[in-house]
Amino acid sequence: MLPISALISVRAKSSAARSRSAIDGRTARHAGYAISLRVRKRIEEAFGWAKTVAGMRKARHRGLPKVDWQFTLAMAA
């Protein structure tokens, strides 16, 4: 019977394979794209805070008017 270490093949990831972006150079080279990334980060931080701190991950109320009120209160905080 073979030991378990003989059955498992472990290989290190090759550093030759370079990771690439899904966005090609024609889009990412413009100044507007960099501005868009900064604005997106700012917005995502607010929504992330609302989910973790303000309890917006799961709505406490039923119905759109009540959930809208909860969202408005969380974003104003």
pLDDT in tens, 40-53: 999 999 999 999 99
Structural domain for 75, as ranges: 28-77
Higher per-residue pLDDT: 7 or 34: 34
* Domain count within the chain: 1
Identity of the amino acid at 31: A
Looking at residue 8, its pLDDT comes to 74
Using DSSP's 3-state secondary structure scheme, residue 66 falls into helix
Kindly state whether residue 61 falls inside one of the protein's structural domains: yes
Q: What is the DSSP letter of 61?
A: S
Kindly state whether residue 55 falls inside one of the protein's structural domains: yes
Task: Please report, to the nearest 10 degrees, the dihedral formed by the alpha carbons of residues 66, 70, 76, 77 taken in order.
Answer: 150
Kindly state whether residue 10 falls inside one of the protein's structural domains: no
- For the segment 20-31, the average pLDDT, to the nearest whole number, is 84
Kindly state whether residue 14 falls inside one of the protein's structural domains: no
Looking at residue 17, its pLDDT comes to 66
Residue 55, pLDDT > 90, answer no
Q: What is the pTM of this model?
A: 0.57
